Structure 1
Amino acid sequence: MSSDFYTAYILPYSALIIKICRAYTNTQEDFEDYYQEVCLQIWRTRDKFRRESEWSTWVYRISLNVCLTLLKKKKNNTQHFASDYVPEEETEETHAFSDENLNVLYDAIRRLSEVDRGVILLYLEEKSYQEIADIMGTNANNIGVRINRIKERLKKLLDGKVN
């Protein structure tokens, strides 16, 4: 990957990529692996971008798909090789960022379903329901209903009323 491509096409969207990768990882090591894989996949698939949507939409799609694929692979490996696997406890050293309020929010977001994580991240990026629907491959009405349910679930998680 050339540094020109990274600077022009990935770096301006790095905050979005970071947010998505962070929502699907629990450790700094996993976060770095996911981020690197997302950047690599954006570079590998750049010629497939048909300009039918915004570049940011393409970056979101790639980021979400890569994170979901890596998460699925990790779950499959965990189930096949260590049925008694216990997830590593998060510590200050393993967390991607040090802002405690942000950590609490991301902890709650990680407790959502994989698809709901993607939807709420797009919502938090102030994407319209239609943009979210385009990225997620559904319709805007479905997204509106889903976001309301996600907000309620997050509120309960943050208030400590749900395990």
Structure 2
Amino acid sequence: MEEKFMELIGQNQKIIHKVVNLYVEKEPDKKDLFQEILYQAWSSFSNFKGNSKFSTWLYRVAMNTAITHVKKRKKNNNARLFETGYRYISEEDEARKRQIDILYRIINKLSPVDKALVLLYIDNHSYEEMSEILGISVSNVGVKINRIKQFLKKEAGKY
């Protein structure tokens, strides 16, 4: 069982990195959250029955763990949801960096669940997959996505 888990995590660890980078800013916090997600995934792996794709199940575990992590840290006033780092952006592309910085600032205003929807939407997940991962109805996913799009457009107009 341990071998299978490690193999599946190895194939899907990008999911964990995306979630971690979305919800925490500082490197030590990222490492802590990554480990916490791995622990939660391992702890509940015996419950994974294969009724959905492993990646869908891992997204759900990672998102739920990250949201819980953020809520705990907010209670302690120690957490700031991510602002941005430019690790993946060329230094030569200042205009693009500015646009992405603005987008991250706007996304940072969203609730943790709405941030999760943005991440899943960007990763081209279907509404059905988003529904399954987040535990909300497909129609609620559609409504939330439309509201998020409207919010992003409205906020982007302020810059």
Stretches (4+) displaced over 4 A: 85-91, 101-104
Percent identity among equivalent residues? Answer: 35
Report the TM-score, using the length of structure 2 for normalisation. Answer: 0.79
Instruction: State the alpha-carbon separation in 2 of the partners of residues 68 and 87 from structure 1.
Output: 13
User: Which whole-Å deviations, capped at 9, do the CAs of 1:80-137 have from their partners, x for residues lacking one?
Assistant: xxxxx7959968xxx4835246555444322211110111111111111111112222
Structure 1: which 5+ residue stretches go unaligned? 79-84
Root-mean-square deviation (Å):
2.9
Instruction: State the alpha-carbon separation in 2 of the partners of residues 103 and 35 from structure 1.
Output: 24
Number of aligned residues: 151
User: Which whole-Å deviations, capped at 9, do the CAs of 1:39-85 have from their partners, x for residues lacking one?
Assistant: 2211221111122211111101100111011111101122xxxxxx7
Instruction: State the alpha-carbon separation in 1 of the partners of residues 81 and 116 from structure 2.
Output: 23
Task: State whether residues 28 and 96 of structure 1, in contact with CA within 8 Å, keep that contact through their aligned partners in structure 2.
Answer: no
Structure 2: which 5+ residue stretches go unaligned? 90-96
Instruction: State the alpha-carbon separation in 2 of the partners of residues 38 and 61 from structure 1.
Output: 10
Report the TM-score, using the length of structure 1 for normalisation. Answer: 0.77
Instruction: State the alpha-carbon separation in 2 of the partners of residues 134 and 13 from structure 1.
Output: 17
Instruction: State the alpha-carbon separation in 1 of the partners of residues 133 and 82 from structure 2.
Output: 32
Give the drift of 1:24: 1.0
Task: State whether residues 5 and 45 of structure 2, in contact with CA within 8 Å, keep that contact through their aligned partners in structure 1.
Answer: no
Instruction: State the alpha-carbon separation in 2 of the partners of residues 42 and 104 from structure 1.
Output: 33
The residue number in structure 1 matching 2:31 is 32
Q: Given residue 53 of structure 1, which amino acid in structure 2 is its aligned partner?
A: S
Task: State whether residues 23 and 82 of structure 2, in contact with CA within 8 Å, keep that contact through their aligned partners in structure 1.
Answer: no
